[in-house]
Amino acid sequence: MSVTEIKSFDDFKRIISSGKPVVIDFWATWCGPCRLISPIFEKMAADSKHSGVEFYKVDVDKQEEISREVGIRAMPTFIYFKDGEKKGDLLGANPTGLQTLVSKAAEV
C-alpha cells in the first residue's frame, strides 16, 4: 500500500473511524526531519507485513483544522488511530519508534 494524503477534515474523520488501523504522518514541507523520515514511512507502507494498516499524511499547514483537532505541536508527529480513537503516537523522526508504532497497529 502507498501513503495517501488527507485533503479534508471530513476525509480525516471518515478515515480514522473506518474500523481499520490507520497511521498518519503529520508533517510540513519546511520541516527537515519530516523529509528525512518520509522515505522510511513510505517503505513501511509498502511492506507486506503491514498490509492490514492504512498509511496517510497530513500537511499541517494545509490542514490546520485537522492539526488543531488532534493537537499537533511538533513535526513530524505520527499517530495511530483505530475506530476513531487515538491508540498511540510518536513525536519526532525516530525510525525505531516509528517501527514500534506501526508494528503495534499491524497487530490488530
Beta carbons of 8 and 61 less than 8 angstroms apart: no
Active-site residue set: 31, 34
How far CA 106 is from CA of 7, 66, 95, in Å, comes to 24, 24, 16
Distance CA 85, CA 100 (A): 18
